[in-house]
């Protein structure tokens, strides 16, 4: 890592100038590897190291994922590669209900279209791209063959996890409803990103976008996502299209839908136990 210097600005100018080698309709494809830390909380404190390793192994397919981002200047398509459970050989049906689905972003229109499946029902989430207030850093490093610059941001956590659900989240909602104060504190997630001006597009993996270069690495919460491969202008033209199937809904409506369904499941389970 280095701080900005006059020589760095000269290098950066050369890098930006070199982007003219790309035509106006250039395309690219980036592969990302995502890894999350397993948070066991108070439950983990009662487990032995052997038990923790067993849980880690069984949840590996949730904690380690591979994604592919296809992009041109204005559009991108982001989706997870199919990955089988390392132990059972089957897909993780529970985890798939709360995983990000096939995602399309159009940064010129500021729009997002994302396909989400929840317990066999398909939803088509249409919404605006969230504004991210990036703070441009002064550090640089190389990721593969690309010189990258650091940027950071504070992003509302629910903006990053609108497709997800946790029982703890449900308990927090109940606690907030009991409070007399109308002030609700918004949980924020600190995000660190590394982008490269050598690929001058505003795209990035998942919810991240809006920097003056492709985002190659993102750290947020307990998850890090790192680009492991980039192919520019592949021989076969990429089809970058939005998903089309499913009930149209906004992100907020989708979040309410899955939360209400999980409350219903919890209440039904409680009634069966009380009989």
Question: Which residue pairs, CB below 8 angstroms and at least 24 apart, start in 263-266?
Answer: 263/170, 266/167, 266/170
Helix (H) or strand (E) holding 10: helix 6-18
pLDDT at 254 over 90: yes
- Which residues are registered as beta bridge partners of 75? 106
Q: Which residues contact 175 (CB under 8 A, 6 or more apart)?
A: none
Closest C-alpha to 232, from 18, 33, 79: 18
Domain boundaries, the chain: 6-177+185-274
**pLDDT band at residue 274 under the 50/70/90 scheme:** low
With vertex at residue 20, the alpha carbon angle to CA 16 and CA 24, rounded to the nearest 5 degrees, is 120
Token pair for residue 148? 């990258």
Among 63-72, 242-251, 262-271, which is the least confidently predicted range? 262-271
Q: Could you say which DSSP state residue 82 is in?
A: P
The three-class DSSP label of residue 16 is helix
- 84-101: per-residue pLDDT in tens? 443 344 445 555 677 889
Q: What percent of the chain has pLDDT over 70?
A: 68
Q: pTM to 2 decimals?
A: 0.79
Question: Count of residues for the chain?
Answer: 275
- 131-155: per-residue pLDDT in tens? 999 999 999 999 999 999 999 999 9
């Amino acid at each position: 890592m280095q701080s900005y210097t006059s020589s760095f600005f000269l290098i950066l100018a050369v890098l930006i100038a070199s982007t003219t080698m790309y035509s106006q309709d250039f395309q690219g494809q980036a592969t990302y590897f995502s890894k999350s830390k397993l948070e066991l909380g108070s439950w983990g404190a009662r487990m032995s190291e052997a038990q923790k390793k067993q849980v880690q192994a069984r949840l590996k397919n949730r904690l380690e994922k591979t994604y592919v981002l296809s992009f041109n200047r204005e559009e991108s398509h982001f989706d997870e590669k199919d990955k089988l459970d390392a132990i059972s050989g089957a897909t993780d049906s529970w985890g798939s209900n709360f995983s990000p689905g096939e995602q399309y972003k159009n940064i010129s229109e500021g729009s997002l279209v994302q396909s989400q499946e929840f317990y066999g029902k398909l939803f088509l989430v249409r919404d605006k791209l969230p504004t991210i207030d990036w703070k441009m850093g002064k550090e640089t490093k190389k990721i593969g063959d690309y010189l990258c610059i650091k940027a950071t941001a504070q992003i509302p956590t629910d903006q990053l996890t609108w497709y997800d659900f946790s029982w703890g989240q449900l308990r927090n909602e109940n606690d907030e409803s009991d409070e007399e104060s109308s002030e609700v504190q918004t949980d924020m997630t600190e995000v660190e990103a590394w982008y490269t001006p050598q690929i001058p597009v505003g795209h990035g993996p998942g919810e991240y976008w809006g920097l003056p270069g492709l985002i190659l690495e993102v750290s947020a919460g307990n998850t890090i996502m790192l680009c492991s491969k980039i192919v520019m202008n592949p021989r076969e033209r990429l089809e970058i299209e939005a998903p089309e199937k499913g009930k149209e809904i906004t992100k907020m409506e989708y979040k309410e839908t899955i939360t209400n369904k999980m409350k219903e499941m919890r209440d039904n389970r409680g009634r069966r136990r009380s009989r």
